[in-house]
Amino acid sequence: AQKVTQAQTEISVVEKEDVTLDCVYETRDTTYYLFWYKQPPSGELVFLIRRNSFDEQNEISGRYSWNFQKSTSSFNFTITASQVVDSAVYFCALGNSGGGADGLTFGKGTHLIIQP
């Protein structure tokens, strides 16, 4: 069975601070995909990144960066110089690859509050 754990239920930081959201996953598959989604107060899930299990390179996109470590089954997300607009619930998710079902298994989410 697949499982995603986001141990941080809520994080509150002051604007311009850096913040890291943790994600730990469990799967028996050798090929899989990891995702991060943002859910702002409006409720719509916004896709941020997809990473496959064979690519352990870290990725940076503007103020966002992701650290994938297969050895610890973690896929952490860092926001540098946080802004109030980053306030949202962030979900880490795990999906299968290859043919067949690829519905996502989500963690419970981390509510990020950026205070001005």
Partner 1 sequence: EAGVAQSPRYKIIEKRQSVAFWCNPISGHATLYWYQQILGQGPKLLIQFQNNGVVDDSQLPKDRFSAERLKGVDSTLKIQPAKLEDSAVYLCASSLRGAGTRSYEQYFGPGTRLTVT
Residues in contact with partner 1 by CB under 8 A are: 4, 33, 35, 37, 42-47, 50, 52, 91, 93, 95-109
φ/ψ of residue 81, rounded to 5: 50, 60
Pick 13 or 108: Cβ nearer partner 1: 108
Residue 81 beta carbon to partner 1: minimum distance, rounded to whole angstroms: 26
- Report the nearest approach of partner 1 to the CB of residue 13 (Å): 21
Gap between the Cα atoms of 59 and 17, Å rounded: 20
Least distance in Å: CB of 95 to partner 1? Answer: 5
**CA separation for the pair 78, 82 (Å, rounded):** 9
Which C-beta is closer to partner 1: that of 73 or that of 108?
108
CA distances from 5 to 22, 61, 72, 79, 94 (A): 8, 24, 13, 19, 10
